[in-house]
Amino acid sequence: MIYTCTLNPSIDYIMNVEEFEAGGLNRSNQTFYYPGGKGINVSRVMARLEVTTEALGYIGGFTGAFIKESLEKESVSHGFIDTSQNTRVNVKLKSDEETEINGPGPEISAKLQEELLMKIRTFTEKDTLVLAGSVPSSLPNDFYVTMTEICAKNKIKVVADTSGKALEQLIGHPLYLLKPNHHELGELFGVTVDSKEKAAEYGQKLIDKNVEHVIVSMGGEGAVYINKDQKLFANVPQGKVRNSVGAGDSVVAGFLSAMAKEETTEGAFRYGVASGSATAFQDDLCQQEDVQALLEQISISEIK
């Protein structure tokens, strides 16, 4: 089973505002509510790509109930732990630019922390755990490391999509897939990653530190894939970006779905990039037919 873990889920409240004016009274002409948080996005996209997952993490209150209900409507299984506090609402303001305001996380007691770790201790080597998103401040800041150590002991594959300190602490632990964007990769090594060659060079450093697959996404500039034998570049398809929220998560979901269907790594990379772009080109996350339609616009080349 592929489990996704979202320690800090959200309702993503999307507000389209024609000409946003900071400090003024703005009126939105269109709003949407989506279940959000990076791991939840991965589960939602994988369900659309016909791969079963179970979404884990902490949830609560009326906002948590909305998320669970939305996932059930989309046939996404979940096993969240109830915090009895409202899950946050993240505001995504879309005008000429995209502005995001993400809420803080809930208080998570030591008992609830242990409950999640106990669940992970039941996983076997056939399982994969996707750790995605920020770690709420009430959790020890090495909580992902603790989870990864349990996984290493039991040969469970770990996928990580996080940034900053949480990402830094994971480096050196055995990981199946890491998907930093080029800014996150640069921040990790204190450099600017502004070309596919640099993405490949610094991505290789992650491979040297026990990561099996690395995808470096570079927004509209393409993406780079590295493993111990390959360094590949993919262009991104042409299209109008309507929503970048969840695009990175869709890359992870697309790659994992294709690997679960025994695609080659090159094919899975292409599928991941197509999924990311398919999400970027619409309001919510991509559907399978959107991904299929973009595949032929993506060419993969070797990076020398």
Ligand X SMILES: O=P(O)(O)OC[C@@]1(O)O[C@H](CO)[C@@H](O)[C@@H]1O
Ligand Y SMILES: Nc1ncnc2c1ncn2[C@@H]1O[C@H](COP(=O)(O)OP(=O)(O)OP(=O)(O)O)[C@@H](O)[C@H]1O
Q: Tell me which residues touch ligand Y (CB under 6 A).
A: 181, 217-220, 223, 236-237, 239, 241, 244, 246-249, 251, 273, 276-277, 280
**Which residues, 124 to 153, sit near ligand X by CB under 6 A?**
133-134
- List the one residue from 4, 5, 8, 278 that touches ligand X (CB under 6 A): 8
- Bridge partner list, 291: none
- List the one residue from 3, 5, 15, 38 that touches ligand X (CB under 6 A): 38
Instruction: Assess 43 for contact with ligand X (CB under 6 A).
Output: no
Task: Return d(Cα 278, Cα 179) in angstroms, integer.
Answer: 17
**What does 241 bind: ligand X, ligand Y, none (CB cut-off 5 to 8 Å by kind)?**
ligand Y
Task: Return d(Cα 137, Cα 201) in angstroms, integer.
Answer: 33
Residue pair 236/273 in contact (Cβ under 8 Å)? The answer is yes
Instruction: Assess 102 for contact with ligand X (CB under 6 A).
Output: yes
**What does 134 bind: ligand X, ligand Y, none (CB cut-off 5 to 8 Å by kind)?**
ligand X
Q: Is 249 assigned a catalytic role?
A: yes
Between the CA atoms of 57, 58, 59 and 60, what dihedral angle is there, to the nearest 10 degrees? 160
Residue pair 161/134 in contact (Cβ under 8 Å)? The answer is no
Catalytic residue, candidates 96, 127, 161, 249: 249
- Bridge partner list, 160: 131, 178
Helix ranges, 104-181 (H): 110-121, 143-153, 164-170
The region that residue 262 occupies, defined by phi over 0 for left and psi between -120 and 50 for alpha, beta otherwise, is: left
Stretch that binds ligand X, among 34-42, 49-57, 68-76, 169-177 (CB under 6 A): 34-42
Structure token digits, residue 269:
């990379």
Task: Return d(Cα 215, Cα 200) in angstroms, integer.
Answer: 9
- List the one residue from 4, 14, 15, 41 that touches ligand X (CB under 6 A): 41
Build a one-symbol-per-residue string for 230-269: x at contacts with ligand X by CB under 6 A, - elsewhere: ---------------xx-xx--------------------
Question: Closer to ligand X at the Cβ: 232 or 247?
Answer: 247
Question: Closer to ligand X at the Cβ: 83 or 232?
Answer: 83
**Residues 6 or more apart whose Cβ sits within 8 Å of residue 90:** 10, 11, 12, 13, 36, 100, 101, 102, 103
- List the one residue from 5, 36, 159, 253 that touches ligand X (CB under 6 A): 36
Q: Kindly report the backbone phi and psi dihedral angles of residue 302, in degrees, each rounded to the nearest multiple of 5, phi listed first.
A: -80, 145
Instruction: Assess 275 for contact with ligand X (CB under 6 A).
Output: no
In whole angstroms, the minimum distance from the beta carbon of 65 to ligand Y comes to 25
Q: Which residue is nearest to ligand X (CB)?
A: 36
Question: Closer to ligand X at the Cβ: 147 or 232?
Answer: 147
**What does 219 bind: ligand Y, ligand X, none (CB cut-off 5 to 8 Å by kind)?**
ligand Y
CA 9 to chain centre: 12
Q: Which residues are catalytic?
A: 249
Task: Give residues in contact with ligand X (CB under 6 A).
Answer: 8, 10, 12, 36-38, 41, 90, 102, 133-134, 245-246, 248-249
